[in-house]
Amino acid sequence: MVEQKPTNVLEIFNSSILKIPQYQRNYSWRKKHVEDLLNDIDYLFNQDKIDRNDDDHYFGTIVLHQTDKVTAGSDEFDEFDIVDGQQRLTTISITMGAISEAIDSLEIELTDLDPSEDRPEKQSKTLRDIYVESEPHRRLDLQNDDSLMYKRLVVDKTAPKDVSSATVSEERLADAKSTIDNWLGTKRSNSNSDLEYYRDLLTLIRLINNRFEVTRYKVGSISEAGRIFETLNDRGRTLTIADKIKSYLVYCANRIGDNQLADDVFNQFGKVIRNITTVGTESDLTQFIEEHWRMFSGEIQYGHNDKYDINDLHRRIKAVDDHIPLQRDNGEIREYIDRYLESLLQASESYQQVMNPSRMETKGDETAKAIQTNLENIHRNISKQNIVGLLIALHQEFGFSEEFEQVTVLLDSFGWRAYQVCRASTDFRRRKFKELSHKIYYTNNVTGASDIFGDRTKDDFDVFSSKGDAFASVCREIENAIGNYGPNRSFEKNLRRSDVFEGNINQDGWNGLRNQRLIKYFLYEYELSHEGSSLPDFNSFVNETSGIEYLLPTDKSNVSHSHDVDHAHYVGKFGNLAILHPTDDKTDPADSYEERYESVYAKSPMNILNRLPEPDEATWGADQIEQRTDRMVSFALERWEVNTGVYVPLLDFDDDLSEQDVMSTIYPQIEDEFNNLDDVVPDELNNVPKIVRDTDFDFDKADYTQTCPSCGATEFRASADNGSIEFYCSCEEQLDQPLFALYLEPFNIETTD
């Protein structure tokens, strides 16, 4: 039975013990939400000062589920779980607790009070008894870590600056208390005396107690709460996508008369919401729900078919035959909800792991430690929207295994190569990764998938038949993406640019990294490649270090006349860039290289600085910058490597040719040949990730070789002939095409079930 009643905030708290059940989310209000509430209070306060009008502020709907009755002394209270309204009621409790603390800090002579005014200590105690704690019961009991933080801030009156937060929700509780304290501090500074301030506080108490109007729904079961949610949603109340789906599922459970299922919906959704919002935001929760749906349902992008023209996820569940419109059989509805809840909860647990690697427990596990580092780099360089579903599906199927590590190594290389250095659009490969998440999730389980989705049969699902198939295909797809938008030649070309920061989009579409943090990341990784380097994690380091160091000064007038250098061409190259250690003294950009070397670089803990050439041994000019650029490019190709590719055993070439000229001729010929190797190259690999000159490659490892048709040799040379480049084998046979070896990284796992 649902009881609806218009009431106010005071009545909600005065007769109740309120608890936030485990299925609810943690505290999520940000500073702006708290300020909105305080602004509403201020509006009533200012209007009251003018004409003491009786305007109320509508505080919304509060839904309470009565669970018990409790006794405190001679008083009896109804105990309620807060089904809806926990953020507002928590913030009101914090506010009233803060007002009580403010009253306790006042020094007021009792003789100055009017006979109708309560003594401050009595008013403070009354406030705390109603809104904070009525011994031995808390008036409001939060959940898990939030409960401890609330106790410290509100019950124990600890100042926000004196508490440390381990989770996002704990931090928001502390921010809420701090915001309210500052608001009250402003009111105190605007008062002429403690007595005037006390009377202002009494006004605030009266307004919050009596003028915050709410509609209270008291329900006897969670399934009744579901019906209320559905009604509120239909009337336009703003709910999150998680709220909307949850309310419909509870409504379904109630329609088929399964109260336990309704309870399961609330409890499971509560766990899901806590898993995401403990370290994330409401927008993260919404994104997670949507990405999980794509993985769970396979509906990556809704088509134009009439059956799939509903774009809102919560409406698709209601209306599309594949899901659970109410006309489906009760047993099918029950099974669908069970499977969806189980999937959602498991995915939220994976989300916690893969999207928050800093919270991983590595405990000396080298594989886990490597995965943690890889994930941190992936999230630095790839949009969360592109990668979250894929990472969840991979974790569901492989856990933190060696296979998972191998995939993250490739994703790390792909993210830095394609999105950052080669400047692929932020949504490049987004759809493909979402499709892969669905295929991985149902690996070798097409029967389970077809059981719940309406009229779908096994043939309607394109999923992987085994773990081995899934692992190899995903790795090949990432290699293909690298080949498409981050192969070695493009990667190296951009790392050698004359202006890695600004770029010149009109030249060939590349507009530079345009982000100091990205440049610092590359230089940070380059520093770690030096023997003996020891740095804190990147986020700590980059927040402490200063800006980019230009070894050749940006101001040409500060360049020594002894330096023979095209300043505009070399000053912006990677070989001219460095970063200081946080303990280094800041340099003066007006100083020359020689001056900065003597005062800072030579003494720096950074290897990339103290190993620079001493000014008395060599100038810092074009040759030094080019040599350093060469070393940095070699490092990058190894750090963000991809092994699958074509290895070209080019021995030598004529003196009037350059390696770049020869390889530029070789690239398109090998790409054409690669595209003809259908019997050798996996279906997923349409683009060769790298083509490199390598005279030491072991041809016995090759998956395909192009050798001399006359003698079977593998090495060749290039010669200039009438303006073109010709190729010759060591047997002097002229070759129609360059020789090469194709190597495909083997992606095998022991268990392929």
pLDDT tens per residue, range 676-697 = 999 999 999 999 999 999 999 9
Question: Lowest mean pLDDT: which of 257-271, 560-574, 658-672, 733-747?
Answer: 560-574
H helices of 212-240, where?
222-234
Identify any residues that bridge with 16 across adjacent strands, giving them in sequence order.
Answer: 78
The mean pLDDT value for 459-485 works out to 95
Query: In which band, very low, low, confident or very high, does the pLDDT at 237 lie, cut at 50, 70 and 90?
Result: very low
Q: For residue 304, is pLDDT > 50?
A: no
Higher pLDDT: 27 or 475? It is 475
Q: For residue 34, is pLDDT > 90?
A: yes
**Residue 227 has what pLDDT?**
61
Q: Which residue has the tokens 């520093």?
A: 527
H helices of 456-588, where?
467-485, 488-495, 505-508, 516-528, 538-544, 567-570
- DSSP secondary structure string, 608-669? HHHTSPPTTT---SHHHHHHHHHHHHHHHHHHT----EEEE-EEEE-TTS-HHHHHHHHHHH
**Residue 233 has what pLDDT?**
45
Q: For residue 231, is pLDDT > 70?
A: no
Query: Which pLDDT tens digit goes with each residue over 513-526?
Result: 888 999 999 999 99
Closest CA to 606 of 541, 515, 543: 541
Query: Which pLDDT tens digit goes with each residue over 323-339?
Result: 999 889 999 999 999 99
The mean pLDDT value for 289-311 works out to 73
The radius of gyration of the chain from alpha carbons, rounded to an integer in Å, stands at: 33
Which sequence spans correspond to the domains of the chain? Answer: 3-219, 237-355, 363-486, 491-639, 645-743
**Residue 234 has what pLDDT?**
42
Question: Lowest mean pLDDT: which of 288-297, 390-399, 615-624, 691-700?
Answer: 615-624
| Amino acid letter, 539 | N
Spatial distance between the Cα atoms of 475 and 689, rounded to a whole number of angstroms: 12
At a CB cut-off of 8 Å and minimum separation 6, what does 118 contact? 126, 202
Q: Which two tokens stand for residue 747?
A: 């992606």
Give Dmax (Cα) for the chain. 115
At a CB cut-off of 8 Å and minimum separation 6, what does 652 contact? 717, 718
pTM score of the predicted model: 0.80
**Residue 701 has what pLDDT?**
95
Collapse the DSSP code of 548 into the 3-class scheme (helix H, G, I; strand E, B; otherwise coil) and give the result. Answer: strand
**What DSSP element (H or E) covers 549?**
strand 548-550
Query: Which pLDDT tens digit goes with each residue over 585-612?
Result: 999 888 888 889 999 999 999 999 999 9
575 within 8 A of 519, measured Cβ to Cβ: no
171 within 8 A of 121, measured Cβ to Cβ: no
Closest CA to 690 of 644, 649, 651: 644
**Residue 52 has what pLDDT?**
65
Collapse the DSSP code of 343 into the 3-class scheme (helix H, G, I; strand E, B; otherwise coil) and give the result. Answer: helix
CA angle 88, 89, 94 (to 5 degrees): 100
- Please give the C-alpha separations between residue 303 and each of 143, 308, 427, 461, in angstroms, as whole numbers: 42, 6, 19, 16
Q: Which two tokens stand for residue 439?
A: 């295929």
| Amino acid letter, 493 | K
Q: For residue 733, is pLDDT > 70?
A: yes
Q: For residue 454, is pLDDT > 50?
A: yes
387 within 8 A of 436, measured Cβ to Cβ: no
Query: In which band, very low, low, confident or very high, does the pLDDT at 306 lie, cut at 50, 70 and 90?
Result: very low
Q: For residue 505, is pLDDT > 90?
A: no
**Residue 235 has what pLDDT?**
42
**Residue 280 has what pLDDT?**
81
Average pLDDT, the chain: 89
Query: Which pLDDT tens digit goes with each residue over 507-558?
Result: 677 788 888 999 999 999 999 999 888 899 898 999 899 889 999 888 877 6
Q: For residue 471, is pLDDT > 70?
A: yes
Higher pLDDT: 514 or 738? It is 738
The mean pLDDT value for 82-88 works out to 89
CA 99, chain centre distance (Å) = 37
In the chain, pLDDT over 70 holds for what percent of residues?
Answer: 92
